[in-house]
Amino acid sequence: MARLGRGLLAALLLAALAGCSGEQFSEAEKATIQSMALDALPALAADPTNRHADEPAAAALGATLFFDQRLSRDGTVSCSTCHVLGKQFQDGLPRAVGVSEGNRRTMPLEGVARNAFLFWDGRRDSLWAQALTPLEDLREHAGTRTGFAHFMAAHFGERYERIFGALPDLGGLPPQAGPFGTPEQIAAWQAMTDAQRAAVDRVFSNIGKAIAAFERSLDHPPTRFDRFARAVASGEPAAGADRFSEEEIAGLKLFIGKANCSTCHTGPRYTDDAFHNTGVPIVPGLPEDIGRTTGRRDVLGDPFNCLGRFSDAGPEACDELRFLVKDGPELIRAYKTPSLRGAASRPPYMHSGQFATLDDVLDHYARAPTAPSGQSELVALRLSERERRQLIAFLRTLGE
Distances (CA, A) of 132 to 77, 211, 302: 14, 9, 11
Nearest of 284, 342, 352, 282 to residue 94 by alpha carbon: 352
pLDDT of residue 240: 84
What's the rounded Cα separation, in Å, for the pair 83 and 109?
A: 7
Q: Which range has the worst mean pLDDT, 68-72, 236-240, 270-274? A: 236-240
Superfamily of domain 56-215: Cytochrome c-like domain (1.10.760.10)
pLDDT of residue 7: 47
For all residues of the chain together, what is the average pLDDT? 93
CATH code of domain 22-43+221-286+332-396: 1.10.760.10
Flag whether pLDDT at 10 surpasses 80. Answer: no
pLDDT of residue 241: 81
Distances (CA, A) of 9 to 23, 31, 337: 18, 31, 46
User: Cβ of 218: how many Cβ atoms within 10 Å?
Assistant: 17
pLDDT of residue 206: 98
What's the rounded Cα separation, in Å, for the pair 153 and 138?
A: 23
What's the rounded Cα separation, in Å, for the pair 50 and 193?
A: 26
Flag whether pLDDT at 17 surpasses 60. Answer: no
pTM over 0.85: yes
pLDDT of residue 23: 59
Flag whether pLDDT at 384 surpasses 80. Answer: yes
Residue range 339-374, pLDDT digits in tens: 999 999 999 999 999 999 999 999 999 999 999 999
pLDDT of residue 19: 42
pLDDT of residue 215: 98
Contact present, 154 and 227 (Cβ < 8 Å): no
The C-alpha torsion from 56 through 62 and 63 to 65, rounded to 10°, is: 150
Contact present, 362 and 389 (Cβ < 8 Å): no
- The reply to whether domains 22-43+221-286+332-396 and 56-215 share a CATH topology is yes
Residues 6+ apart with CB under 8 A from 348: 94, 105, 354, 355, 356, 357
What's the rounded Cα separation, in Å, for the pair 109 and 106?
A: 9
User: Cβ of 379: how many Cβ atoms within 10 Å?
Assistant: 9
Query: Which residue ranges make up each domain of the chain?
Result: 22-43+221-286+332-396, 56-215
* H or E stretch covering 276: strand 275-276
Provide the residue count of the chain.
400
Q: Which range has the worst mean pLDDT, 211-220, 236-245, 261-270, 390-399? A: 236-245
pLDDT of residue 9: 43
The pLDDT confidence band at residue 174, using thresholds 50, 70 and 90, is: very high
Nearest of 210, 186, 205, 77 to residue 140 by alpha carbon: 77
Residue range 275-287, pLDDT digits in tens: 999 999 999 999 9
